């Protein structure tokens, strides 16, 4: 058999001829950078952002700040700013934003920032010069002595964009390493939570030096040239310190000088005539025969195209049969793109289909009556079992993690602000001293997200959602074995019990354990330091599973104790909001568990009733910190009254619902689920009282969804908006069921379509393993492997301000785009079952 067929030879010859023609042709003249109305620099295929985004408070380094580059619609460069380390991490300090001014005449953008703790203020100025950008660092005063040798200007390059590419440093060349292997130098490390020195650490040494760097000279889609006016630039690989590190170009700031102390010229390869490839936003999962079917084509802002969306049915013999659909119409502009839309709702014949727009073709999707039948199963079958804490989780030949955190937990120190929004107040609010082991907490619960903490407030959301799913749909699916006594889970091995009830039991065990251990709900259980917090991989190897005993030396073990202080900390400051959240959750769980685990159901019910009485007996405990101490007190109290009413039928709780309503009405949008749940048990007059709030919700959400072409509310914060989309779908269902004359059911199908591909930026499904093309690189606790957890839901498209929606599929470490969270998983389970309940998907 010949190596190449004649057809292949002909195609190769044409390709070579075209390449030769391109090589011999004169390159087009570069286009000049201009400062556009959105406040960033623009040229064909190149956008330079200059502090359009600033670091937010949760982490100093979200990789979305300073000077940034979007090249041919891919953001590859970020964090152009003064930093105090060559490869700073999430907890290293960053300059605090002070002000930003724009000189429209010159195009100069000047941003003032400061490191207040060091008494250091500086300015970064960017000015366009033809097709290049001049960057200057200006110091009003000389660098403080404490920062000499530490402060430098950094520019970070996304590793995934530069893998398999080369670089040139003056006359020397190199290849970007696929895996970090640069030389290191020993340093002292410091615990970001406590400030204590933790012994020897290491920082990377430069892998190249030069006056002028060219990144990816062979690839015009990633080619960037960085030239220093004076001095040298060093290239670092930050992944030696942390898997989420980037390639960094850096130059130190000089000592003893003020004024302009650093000047670089940045040149990204422009592409005159370049247009972004169209994206056909649609549901990768597919559509019900009777449901709405919308395809929204996303086009480059400069694309004048007026093409038509075409639909083809994929036949079993491989043919693509054209299917007539309605006209393709303009759908306006949103963010940086323009849109066209086609409605093919009239197509009802079941089968496999693809969409096409000007030669861009989608992956196949289905039209099917059983569309939602298994859309939820990866979440229940795989995602939640893997997330189970205090268990060994096995899947066929694979152990996902060992029996984790058997040594839970030590009392957190008082008056302590910890990492990831945990804090302990001035008292432990229990009988345990700081550092003392609290027995009984090493049971039940789920890993909160891509990390391993148990966050009680998230557990409330998960369990309430799971109970709603159980009570509405009663899914009897059984594909997982859960043995709480042996602390073992086997995925894909039935055990004769409904998996959803086993998950409800597992979460309830942790909440009950908190009350049994300390007498109230606790904020959560969290790693003691950053080193343990950043653990990736097997949760069973995070700690030694032995209770810490300070009398033992490190490495010494005796009678189930060890000298390693790796036990997680329990944050126990009492919060009435958190207590009320647990009251609601335990009351709801007791209903679901009745007849399945009667002993646990009875304990949960008793705790809910007694804790309500205890909370009503005194002024509320108002401790609040971050997002770990419960929602607004009035919301949590109202939710507790509703669930106790549903569980007990006691009219005293109905009176509480009535009494609290005037405070709930102004914040109805936060409490839709609780209000809807209360309605069947309240007098008819209460339904009439709530109706104006429902009308206001409908009007407000209609205004929000009118701002974009996708029919759902899209948020623009530092965490992407899939949670809000899930909430909109769930609230739409609840209000449609309660007030069908006021709210239709269309929000449910639109939310599912958005989550599975009908959204800006791309057409990927944000639910891993659901839909033909779904998230396959995500921020789970296995993110270092550049892979996914089936059934996990990621946050979605994150807005890089002012107008760039982003969801990286080649770089998992953006938590705001790609981090799985258990509450989103539970809400996906619930939303799909709501859609199943609605039947054929027709808006009613």
pLDDT at position 189 is 58
Q: Are 729 and 750 in contact (CB under 8 A)?
A: yes
Q: Are 555 and 406 in contact (CB under 8 A)?
A: no
Distance CA(217)–CA(167), nearest Å, equals 7
Distance CA(683)–CA(690), nearest Å, equals 12
What count of other Cβ atoms lies within 10 Å of the Cβ of residue 183? 10
pLDDT over 70 for what percent of the chain?
94
| Chain segment 647-659, per-residue pLDDT in tens | 999 999 999 999 9
- What is the number of alpha carbons within 13 Å of residue 192 lying toward its C-beta? 18
Q: How would residue 175 be classed by pLDDT, with cut points 50, 70 and 90? A: very high
DSSP state of 388: B
What count of other Cβ atoms lies within 10 Å of the Cβ of residue 593? 24
579: in domain? no
296: in domain? no
171: in domain? yes
- What is the number of alpha carbons within 13 Å of residue 529 lying toward its C-beta? 15
Distance CA(732)–CA(737), nearest Å, equals 9
pLDDT at position 115 is 96
Q: Are 571 and 433 in contact (CB under 8 A)?
A: no
The bridge status of strand 294-299 relative to strand 172-175 is unpaired
175: in domain? yes
- Percentages of the chain per state (helix, strand, coil), in multiples of 5: 30, 25, 45
| Chain segment 35-88, per-residue pLDDT in tens | 999 999 999 999 999 999 988 755 667 899 999 999 999 999 999 999 999 999
| Chain segment 390-426, per-residue pLDDT in tens | 999 999 999 999 999 999 999 999 999 999 999 999 9
Beta strands in 324-405 (DSSP E): 328-334, 337-343, 351-357, 360-361, 365-367, 392-395, 398-401
Distance CA(72)–CA(601), nearest Å, equals 57
Residues 6+ apart with CB under 8 A from 349: 289, 313, 367
Q: What are phi and psi of 777, to 5 degrees?
A: -135, 110
183: in domain? yes
Has residue 190 got a pLDDT over 50?
Answer: no
What does the mean pLDDT of the chain come to? 93
Q: Are 632 and 667 in contact (CB under 8 A)?
A: yes
What count of other Cβ atoms lies within 10 Å of the Cβ of residue 314? 16
Q: How would residue 30 be classed by pLDDT, with cut points 50, 70 and 90? A: low
| Chain segment 109-163, per-residue pLDDT in tens | 999 999 999 999 999 999 999 999 999 999 999 999 999 999 999 999 999 999 9
Nearest C-alpha neighbor of 424 from the set 409, 402, 439: 409
Return the ∠ at Cα 533 (arms to 531 and 537), rounded to 5°.
100
766: in domain? no
Distance CA(377)–CA(383), nearest Å, equals 9
Task: Calculate mean pLDDT across residues 699-712.
Answer: 97
Has residue 486 got a pLDDT over 60?
Answer: yes
Distance CA(249)–CA(792), nearest Å, equals 35
Q: Are 822 and 387 in contact (CB under 8 A)?
A: yes
Has residue 844 got a pLDDT over 60?
Answer: no
DSSP symbols for 450-504? SS--EEHHHHHHHHHHHHHHHHHH------EEEETTTTEEEET---SS-HHHHHH
Task: Calculate mean pLDDT across residues 288-313.
Answer: 96
Nearest C-alpha neighbor of 193 from the set 561, 581, 533: 533
Residues in the chain: 844
Has residue 250 got a pLDDT over 70?
Answer: yes
| Chain segment 563-573, per-residue pLDDT in tens | 999 999 999 99
Distance CA(503)–CA(475), nearest Å, equals 12
| Tally of domains in the chain | 1
149: in domain? yes
157 burial level (CB within 10 Å; 0-12, 13-18, 19+): buried
SS3 656: helix
Dihedral sign computed on CA atoms, order 572, 575, 581, 586: positive
47: in domain? yes
Task: Read off the tokens for 662.
Answer: 């005037």
Q: Could you tell me the residue range of the domain that residue 42 belongs to?
A: 36-97+145-255
């Amino acid at each position: 058999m010949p190596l190449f067929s004649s057809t292949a030879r002909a195609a190769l010859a044409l390709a070579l001829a075209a390449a030769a023609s391109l090589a011999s042709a004169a390159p087009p003249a570069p286009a000049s950078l201009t400062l556009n109305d959105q406040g960033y620099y623009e040229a064909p295929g190149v956008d330079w952002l200059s502090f359009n985004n600033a670091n937010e408070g949760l982490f100093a380094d979200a990789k979305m700040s300073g000077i940034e580059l979007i090249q041919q619609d891919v953001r590859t460069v970020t964090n152009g700013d003064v930093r105090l380390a060559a490869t700073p991490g999430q907890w290293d300090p960053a300059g605090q934003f002070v002000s930003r001014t724009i000189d429209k005449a010159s195009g100069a953008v000047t941003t003032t920032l400061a490191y207040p703790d060091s008494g250091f203020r500086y300015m970064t100025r960017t000015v366009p010069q033809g097709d290049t950008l001049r960057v200057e660092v200006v110091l009003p005063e000389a660098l403080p002595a404490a920062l000499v040798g530490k402060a430098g200007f950094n520019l970070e390059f996304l590793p995934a964009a530069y893998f398999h590419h080369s670089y040139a440093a003056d006359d020397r060349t190199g290849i970007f390493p696929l895996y970090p292997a640069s030389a290191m130098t020993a340093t002292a490390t410091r615990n970001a939570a406590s400030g204590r020195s933790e012994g020897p650490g290491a920082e990377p040494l430069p892998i190249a030096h030069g006056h002028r760097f060219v990144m990816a000279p062979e690839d015009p889609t990633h080619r960037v040239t960085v030239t220093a006016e004076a001095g040298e630039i060093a290239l670092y690989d930050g992944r030696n310190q942390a898997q989420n590190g980037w390639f960094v170009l850096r130059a130190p700031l000089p000592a003893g000088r003020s004024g302009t102390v650093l000047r670089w010229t940045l040149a990204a390869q422009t592409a005159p005539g370049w247009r972004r490839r169209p994206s056909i936003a649609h549901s990768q999962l597919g559509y019900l025969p009777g449901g709405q079917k919308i395809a929204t084509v996303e086009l480059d802002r400069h694309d004048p195209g007026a093409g038509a969306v075409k639909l083809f049915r994929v036949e079993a013999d491989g043919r693509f049969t054209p299917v007539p659909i309605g006209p393709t119409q303009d759908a306006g502009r949103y963010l940086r793109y323009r849109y066209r839309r086609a409605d093919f709702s009239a197509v009802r014949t079941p089968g496999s289909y693809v969409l096409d727009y000007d030669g861009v073709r989608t992956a196949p999707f289905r039209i099917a009556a059983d569309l939602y039948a298994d859309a939820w199963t990866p979440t229940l079958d795989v995602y939640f079992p893997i997330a189970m804490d205090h268990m060994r989780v096995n899947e066929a030949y694979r152990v996902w993690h060992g029996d984790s955190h058997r040594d839970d937990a030590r009392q957190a120190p008082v008056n302590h602000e910890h990492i990831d929004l945990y804090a302990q107040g001035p008292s432990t609010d229990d009988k345990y001293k700081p550092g003392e082991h609290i027995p009984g907490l090493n049971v039940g619960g789920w890993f909160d997200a891509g990390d391993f903490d148990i966050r009680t407030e998230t557990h409330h959301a998960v369990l309430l959602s799971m109970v709603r799913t159980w009570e509405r749909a009663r899914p009897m699916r059984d594909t997982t074995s859960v043995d709480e006594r042996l602390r073992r889970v086997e995925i894909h091995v039935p055990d004769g019990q409904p998996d959803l009830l086993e998950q409800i039991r597992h979460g309830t065990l942790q909440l009950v354990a908190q009350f049994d251990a300390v007498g109230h709900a606790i904020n959560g259980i969290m790693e003691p330091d950053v080193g343990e917090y950043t653990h990736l991989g097997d949760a069973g190897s995070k700690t030694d599973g032995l209770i810490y005993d300070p009398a033992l030396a490190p490495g010494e073990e005796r009678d189930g104790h060890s000298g390693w202080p790796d036990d997680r900390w329990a944050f126990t400051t009492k919060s009435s909001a958190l207590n009320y959240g647990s009251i609601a959750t335990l009351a709801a769980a007791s209903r679901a568990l009745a007849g399945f685990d009667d002993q646990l159901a009875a304990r949960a019910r008793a705790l809910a009733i007694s804790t309500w009485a205890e909370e009503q007996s005194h002024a509320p405990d108002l401790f609040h910190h971050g997002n770990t101490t419960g929602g607004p007190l009035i919301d949590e109290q109202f939710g507790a009254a509703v669930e106790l009413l549903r569980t007990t039928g006691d009219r005293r709780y109905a009176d509480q619902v009535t009494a609290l309503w005037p405070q709930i009405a102004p914040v109805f949008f936060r409490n839709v689920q609780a209000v809807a749940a209360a309605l069947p048990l309240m007098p008819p007059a209460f339904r009439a009282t709530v109706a104006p709030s429902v009308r206001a919700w409908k009007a407000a959400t209609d205004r929000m969804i009118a701002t974009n072409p996708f029919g759902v509310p899209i948020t623009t914060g530092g965490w992407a908006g899939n949670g809000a989309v899930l909430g909109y779908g769930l609230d739409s269902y609840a209000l449609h069921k309660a007030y069908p004359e006021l709210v239709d059911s269309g929000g449910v199908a639109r939310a599912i379509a958005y989550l599975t591909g009908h959204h800006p930026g791309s057409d990927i499904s944000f639910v891993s393993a659901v839909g033909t093309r779904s998230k396959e690189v995500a921020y789970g606790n296995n993110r270092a492997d550049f892979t996914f957890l089936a059934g996990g839901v990621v946050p979605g498209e994150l807005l890089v301000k002012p107008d760039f929606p982003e969801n990286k599929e080649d770089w998992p470490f953006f938590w705001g785009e790609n981090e799985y969270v258990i509450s989103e998983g539970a809400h996906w389970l619930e939303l799909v079952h709501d859609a199943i309940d609605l039947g054929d998907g027709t808006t009613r």
